[in-house]
Structure 1
Amino acid sequence: MIKKIVHFLEALGEWAGKISSWLILILIFTLVYEVISRHLFNKPTFWSYDISYMLGGSAAFLGMAWVLKNRQHVRVDIFYEKLSERNKAIFDIVLSLCLFFPLVIFGFSNSLDAAINAFLREETAATGSWRPLIYPLRMVIPISLALLFLQGVADIIRNIYQLLGRRI
């Protein structure tokens, strides 16, 4: 049962990573279109700036769970790489409980409040000429942090199993 839960949580992180990669592809096409339109036809778009930071920011946030799942975050390996697998698991659990989860919960709480307020006020972007609604972008942040939290839970479970001498 626990294995199924861990695999489900990690599948959510994979799903978010795939969405993130598609957003990057759309971002690239959008920017190429803007450059061609601006430089070859002397007709810049009025929407490309807003779309680019919305797509880029969404891709960066949605990719966090995938990055954690695949252990691709930047890490100072001066001491960590010299630890045994058991001590790495202990180290990861302690740091997750002391730093990771409190920061993710704090970020989720604040970003959810900001997203709800943006939705209720029908907040628009302060930059750009077309002033699109900003709450969809603001909503990506708490969703991404929730996915990151769930991936952290999956990692804690894996580390506990590691301490018990078992693998998931």
Structure 2
Amino acid sequence: MQRFLFFLDHISIWVGKIFAWSVVILTAVVAYEVFMRYVMRNPTGWAYDTSYILYGALFIMAGAYALATQAHVRADVIYRLFPVRAQAGLDLVLYLIFFMPAVLALMYAGYFFAEASWRIGERSPYSPHGPPLYHFKSLIPLAGFFLTLQGIAEITRCIMALISGKWPMRVGDVKDIGEELVAPDQNITRPAP
């Protein structure tokens, strides 16, 4: 079962790392636009569209990565005081009632949203160049799919924690500071991604 969880984690991490490169492109586009606008006094007509498309792609496609590496912000002041089985039970209920229905709805509605965009050849109305948007609207159901996969991994982790009383190991390249605070003397090792 652990190999299955690591497989799903690796998919989410891989997708997140691929889309993280859009930050580099986004930075270059914004720097170029600032240079052209304020130094050359000749702003571009495409930088605004490019920047919000890249940011949107990064934001939506990084969700599964953030879930796999536990990088989401959570207010767990009281939650961390619960025993593992109580944490797992609470997480399981929240995943089943809120998370999974929401990401399935995102995938379902996003498919029709993207399909309509492809059908009409939707273009951006915010600039004279009007770059195509349908490619990027296709990321909506795709993000829902990757979030669903990672949600399955998280639900499986909750069930395993309910049964065993301890959280299963997790693949991740971000170590939670809470681990350092709770067990500063223990050497916590994780498998390499």
> Common fold, TM-score beyond 0.5?
yes
Q: CA deviation at 1:125?
A: 1.2
2:53 partner SS? helix
1:23·1:55 contact (CA, 8 Å) conserved in 2?
Answer: yes
Aligned partner of 1:112 in structure 2 is 111
Looking at structure 1, the residues matched to 36 and 122 of structure 2 have their Cα atoms a distance apart, in angstroms, of: 29
Equivalent residues in 2 for 1:65-80, closer than 5 Å: 65-80=64-79
Aligned partner of 1:148 in structure 2 is 147
Point out where structure 1 has 5 or more consecutive residues left out of the alignment: none
Q: CA deviation at 1:161?
A: 1.3
Point out where structure 2 has 5 or more consecutive residues left out of the alignment: 170-193
Aligned partner of 1:90 in structure 2 is 89
Q: 2:145 is matched by which residue type in structure 1?
A: A
- Name the TM-score, length of structure 1 as normaliser: 0.94
1:19·1:62 contact (CA, 8 Å) conserved in 2?
Answer: no
Looking at structure 2, the residues matched to 82 and 65 of structure 1 have their Cα atoms a distance apart, in angstroms, of: 26
Aligned partner of 2:132 in structure 1 is 133
> Which stretch has the larger CA shift, 126-135 or 51-60?
126-135
> Which stretch has the larger CA shift, 19-28 or 76-85?
76-85
> Which stretch has the larger CA shift, 18-27 or 68-77?
68-77
Aligned partner of 2:173 in structure 1 is none
1:71 partner SS? coil
- Greater share of residues in helix: 1
Aligned partner of 1:39 in structure 2 is 38
- Name the TM-score, length of structure 2 as normaliser: 0.82
Calculate percent identity across the aligned residue pairs: 32
What is the number of equivalent residue pairs in this alignment? 167
Q: CA deviation at 1:84?
A: 0.9
Root-mean-square deviation (Å): 1.3
